[in-house]
Amino acid sequence: MDQKPFSIVAGLIFTLVALFHLVRIYMGWPVDIGDWSVPMWFSWIGLVVAGGLAFFGFRLAAHEPRWYGQNGQQVDNRSPQFEKPTIRSWRKNKPRTCFMAR
């Protein structure tokens, strides 16, 4: 499965989980696991986490993946000569992320 369909499916699943948490909060449904009654604030946490993951899943699906070629320039992935870079070329050309003074 490619990145876009996977992100859409994951976003839909997390949206459903967030909606179930929202309905439980609104309707006041009790949840019991064995002898333990799950507090309502668990659903607030579940709503925020599942909603955030759904948001990021749909956001990731909306963007096209970007690939960088051997010289560090962005490669258009729709061109016929497009090839995914190797791990070795990516490590060699990846930008520095640490800005610590030496």
- Mean pLDDT per block of 10 residues along the chain (102 residues) reads 88 97 95 94 96 95 68 58 56 56 50
Dist. CA 80–CA 52, nearest whole Å? 36
Total domain count, the chain: 2
Whether pTM > 0.75 for this model: the answer is no
DSSP state of 95: P
26 and 75 in a common domain: no
Nearest to 51 by CA among 27, 9, 8, 19: 19
Rounded to whole angstroms, how far apart are CA atoms 94 and 68? Answer: 9
Do 12 and 51 have their domain in common? yes
**Same domain for 80 and 50:** no
Residue 7's domain comprises 3-62
Q: Which helix (H) or strand (E) holds 75?
A: strand 74-75
pLDDT digits (tens, 9 = 90+) for 52-80: 999 999 999 887 666 555 666 665 555 55
For residue 87, the SS3 value is helix
